[in-house]
């Protein structure tokens, strides 16, 4: 098992939302300070979410991500990817792996293009669920496809792992969604990064 620290960014600061509600944002300080307090050192993997980017549909927190990557952290980042150029912006910041949620659920052609351009190991589809329904665009709307279809499309591209978030538990300090992860294990051979 690999434990991956997660840093959510909003307005240039590290925040925590409860169940994806932007009105509940608790601010913790700068990403650099939080990385130091967490003891993150070169070579460690860290998950970074550009919350504003996910809502606006474009990368926003690129300077912070670039700074974290320049410290030797193995950054997997996401938020706001709606095109190959958006993906390239993240990779130009030093991101090792790109997390895509809205694209994974709503844009299968673009997901295929991202995999063709950057490879299966550099693209991590994110599946964010609320009450069994896939949510996109910063969790603000339902996806156009059901969970089963999203999983089949990802599997067909030979991607090996997905990141899964149970929105009802996110930021609520209620522990992992073990029932959800067990159900997904029976639905797909994809490796699951439990969020």
Place of tokens 């969790």: 139
Q: Which helix (H) or strand (E) holds 91?
A: helix 84-92
Catalytic residue among 50, 86, 106, 128: 128
Q: Is 8 part of the annotated catalytic residue set?
A: yes
The span from the CA of 170 to the CA of 77, in Å, is 17
Give the β-pairing of 6-10 and 45-50. parallel
Which of 136, 184, 187, 193 lies closest to 164, judged by CA? 193
The span from the CA of 40 to the CA of 148, in Å, is 36
| End-to-end CA separation in angstroms for the chain | 13
Q: Is 128 part of the annotated catalytic residue set?
A: yes
Which residues carry out catalysis? 8, 128
């Amino acid at each position: 098992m690999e434990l991956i620290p997660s840093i959510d960014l909003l307005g240039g600061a590290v925040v925590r939302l409860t169940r994806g509600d932007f009105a509940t944002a608790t601010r913790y300080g700068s990403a650099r300070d939080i990385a130091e307090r967490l003891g993150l050192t070169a070579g460690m993997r860290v998950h970074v979410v550009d919350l504003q980017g996910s809502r606006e549909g474009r990368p926003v927190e690129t300077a912070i991500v670039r700074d974290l990557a320049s410290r030797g952290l193995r950054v997997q980042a996401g938020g706001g990817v709606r095109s190959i150029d958006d993906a390239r912006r993240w990779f130009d910041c030093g991101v090792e792996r790109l997390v895509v949620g809205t694209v994974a659920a709503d844009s299968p052609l673009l997901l295929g293009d991202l995999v063709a351009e950057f490879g299966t190991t550099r693209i991590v589809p994110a599946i964010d669920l609320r009450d069994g329904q896939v949510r996109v665009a910063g969790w603000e709307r339902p996806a156009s496809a059901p969970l089963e279809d999203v999983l089949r499309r990802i599997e067909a591209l030979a991607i090996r792992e997905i990141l899964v978030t149970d929105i009802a538990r996110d930021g609520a300090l209620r522990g992992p969604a073990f029932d959800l992860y067990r159900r997904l294990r029976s639905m797909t051979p994809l490796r699951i990064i439990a969020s």
